[in-house]
Amino acid sequence: MSASFGVLQTTLLLMTTGPEVHGRALGMQALATGIMPLFSLIPGLVAHDIGVSATTQVSGLLLAILLLVLAVRVPELLTSSADQRQK
C-alpha cells in the first residue's frame, strides 16, 4: 500500500504542477518525506507529557488553523489547475 500511495502522490504532484517546476516540486516532496521522521518526534514528546488524545486534538486544531490562514492568504490554492487553464 505504501508503494501505491507513493506512486499516486507523485503522479498527482506532477499532474498539478507545470513542467517548468517539476524538478522543484519533486525536490520539495523528497525534502518533506525525508524530514518527516525527525518532526514526528515532536508530537511524540508532547503526547508523552499531555496524552495522545490531547495531542491529536491540538494537532488537528493547529492544522485547521494553518489551512484557514493559507486559504485566506493564498486564495489561488483553492482553484483547481483545470479552472486556471480555462481562463
36-83 pLDDT tens trace: 888 889 999 999 999 999 999 999 999 999 999 999 999 888 886 655
Pair 31, 61 in one domain? no
Pair 27, 54 in one domain? no
Structural domains in the chain (count) = 2
3-state secondary structure 29-51: HHHHHHHHHHHCHHHHHHHHHHC
Q: Rounded to whole angstroms, how far apart are CA atoms 41 and 49?
A: 13
Containing domain of residue 4, as a range?
A: 1-39
Pair 51, 87 in one domain? yes
pTM of the prediction?
A: 0.60
What are the pLDDT digits (tens) for 58-71?
999 999 999 999 99
Pair 27, 60 in one domain? no
CA–CA distance from 81 to each of 12, 13, 44, 70 (Å)?
Answer: 11, 11, 36, 17
